[in-house]
Amino acid sequence: MDTFLALELIALALTGLLIWHSAYTRGAVFTWMFFLGGAFLGLIRENVVSQVAALNLYSYNPATFHLWVGAAPLILMVFWSYTIYLALTFSEVIVRGNLIGGKRRVWVILLSMVFMASYACLNEAFASIYPMVLWKFKPALTVWGGTPAMVLWGYAGMALIFLLTLLIVYRLRMRTIYRLIIFCASVIVMIPLHLLWIAIFRLATSAIG
């Protein structure tokens, strides 16, 4: 079996373990919202970014990935949810907080953002080996053989936007199915917000280049 296909399957299996953990420790409602919303986010965002040339960001290397959903690798349907879930869980343990419960919420979110930037360091170094991503622009600041430094900022911003949206929708006083639908639909707000977040960094660093 191809090494990268094995990695894709391992990532899917490990995400399954995280879903199990979430269902067991956080309950079905949270788990459905988090992972279904995350799947919608990954599916729609990565297809938009890959296919809308005007965004001038990146596309995925067809020579690297094996499993696809449209123009985005299948793994991106779980990528954002599993990374943010790891960020949330690690942050809650480290600061002894609880996002939904309201305990040290600000610290949980801030540390989740730091975690995501740290994970970006690991993931983007790994991604540059194959390479997973084909960048469409020449960034002002780069790391690891051409990876734009904005990815660290981008990962952190995704955690902030995703967790805040989840928190707001989770706390709505309405039936579970409506909250689930609203959260999944909210990706159409989260995606432009995140693109704006990235644009701020690109604008701020453009002077350097």
Partner 1 sequence: MNTMDKRPNFFVREIPFIVLLVFWVIYAGIEIIRSRFDLLTSIIPTGLFIIAYILVRLISKEWKGGG
Candidates 5, 14, 174, 188: give the one binding partner 1 (CB under 8 A). 14
Candidates 36, 90, 167, 205: give the one binding partner 1 (CB under 8 A). 90
Candidates 47, 59, 64, 128: give the one binding partner 1 (CB under 8 A). 128
Q: What gap in Å lies between CA 158 and CA 175, rounded to an integer? A: 26
Q: Which stretch binds partner 1 (CB under 8 A): 23-31, 36-44, 51-59, 71-79?
A: 23-31
Distance of CA 29 to the CA centre of its chain: 20
x-or-dash string of contact with partner 1, 138-167, rule CB under 8 A: -----xxx----------------------
Contact 201, 158 (CB under 8 A): no
Tokens of 116: 């995501």
Q: Which stretch binds partner 1 (CB under 8 A): 70-78, 112-120, 185-193, 199-207?
A: 112-120
CA angle (169 as vertex; 163, 174 as ends), nearest 5: 155
Q: Please tell me whether residue 123 binds partner 1 under the rule CB under 8 A.
A: yes
Closest by CA position to 151, among listed 191, 190, 106, 202: 202
Contact 75, 11 (CB under 8 A): yes
Candidates 5, 25, 56, 171: give the one binding partner 1 (CB under 8 A). 25
Q: Please tell me whether residue 107 binds partner 1 under the rule CB under 8 A.
A: no
Q: Please tell me whether residue 67 binds partner 1 under the rule CB under 8 A.
A: no
Contact 154, 120 (CB under 8 A): yes
Question: Shortest approach of partner 1 to residue 162 CB, angstroms?
Answer: 16
Closest by CA position to 116, among listed 88, 150, 75, 74: 88
Tokens of 157: 């911003």
Which residues form the interface with partner 1 (CB under 8 A)? 7, 10-11, 14, 17-18, 20-21, 24-27, 30, 82, 85-86, 89-90, 93-94, 96, 98-101, 115, 117-119, 121-126, 128-129, 143-145
